[in-house]
A and B are shown apart, each in its own frame.
Chain A
Amino acid sequence: MNVRILYFGRLREEMGIAGEMLDLPPEVGDVASLRARLIARGGVSASAFATTKAVRFSVNQDLARNDTPIKAGDEIAFFPPVSGG
C-alpha cells in the first residue's frame, strides 16, 4: 500500500527531505510499526529519529498515537514537539 510521509522542523533537516512516497507491506498497520520500519532502514533515517527528542506524528493531519492505524493513501507526518505561538 502506498502512503505519503512528511517530515517537519529538525526532523526534516536531518532527513534531508521534506517527504517521500512509500509502498508498505500490509503488516505495517500502525504509526509505531511505520516508525520502526523507517528506523530499520538505517543511515540518516535511523540517526534523524535518534537525535530528535520525543518525535510526534499525525495521520491525515490529525495528531496521532503509536497505535493509530494507517491505510493506503494516508498522509503520515513525523515532527518534533511543536514550538509556535
Chain B
Amino acid sequence: MPVRVQQGDFDVGAEIAAFRRADPKIGAIASFIGLVRDRNEGDAVAGMTLEHYPGMTEKALAGIVAEAKGRWDIIDALVIHRVGELKPLDQIVLVVVTGAHRGAAFAACEFIMDYLKTRAPLWKKEQTAEGARWVEARSSDDEAAERWSEPSAK
C-alpha cells in the first residue's frame, strides 16, 4: 500500500512521476499538498512538532486509501505524511490520486484528506511567542469528514 510516514521532505514532481509509472490507463491525477503556515489562531508560529503513533498511522492511512479505492473508480492513491520538526513553508502532507477521469480523482483526494484530518493519529504542537501549545482539533474538520458518511452508516 503506497503510504509513507517520514521525517524528510518529499519532491512532489518526482513522487508523481514515480507513482504514475508511465501507466497509459491514467487520464487524471489529482493531488493535495498541505503546508506549514506562519500563523494560527491569530498568533505567529515559528515552527511545529508533529507527533504520531508509529504503526497505527500507517495502518490508518492504508485503511483510508483502501476505503477510497472501494468508494470511487480510481486506479491508486499515494499518501506521504511528514513527522518531527517542521517550519513555516515546509510541506507536511502529499496526497496523489490517479484515475481514468478527473471526477473520481478529485473526490477521492478530498475524501482522503478529510478522513486523514480526523482519523490518522497525528498531533501538532506549535511554537509561538508565548511558548509551545498543542493544536486543538477543529470542529470544521469533523464536519468535512461527516460529508462522506454513507447513509447506511448514520
Q: Which residues of A contact B (CB under 8 A)?
A: 6, 8-10, 12, 53-54, 58, 61-63, 77, 79-85
Contacts and interface: CB of A to CB of B under 8 A. Distances in A.
Contact of B137 (A12, A63, A81): A81
Contact of A79 (B59, B116, B121, B138): B121
A41 to B, nearest CB: 23
Contact of B81 (A8, A12, A81, A84): A84
B119 interface: yes
Contact of B120 (A62, A77, A84): A84
B122 A82 contact: yes
Contacts of A58: 53, 56, 121
Contacts of B120: 82, 84-85
A8 B53 contact: yes
A77 B119 CA distance: 14
B123 A79 contact: yes
B53 A6 contact: yes
Contacts of B124: 83-84
Given A9-B134, A62-B59, A83 B53 contact: no
B24 interface: no
A68 to B, nearest CB: 14
B34 interface: yes
11 contacts: A8-B53, A9-B125, A54-B137, A61-B60, A62-B59, A63-B119, A80-B137, A84-B50, A84-B52, A84-B122, A85-B116
A84 B116 contact: yes
Contacts, number: 76
A85 B134 contact: no
Given A83-B122, A84-B122, A77 B56 contact: yes
B119 A83 contact: no
Nearest to B116: A85
Nearest to B34: A85
Contacts of B125: 9
Given A53-B136, A77-B53, 13 more contacts: A8-B121, A8-B123, A79-B53, A79-B121, A79-B123, A80-B134, A81-B136, A83-B123, A83-B134, A83-B136, A84-B81, A84-B121, A85-B81
Contacts of A82: 117-123, 137
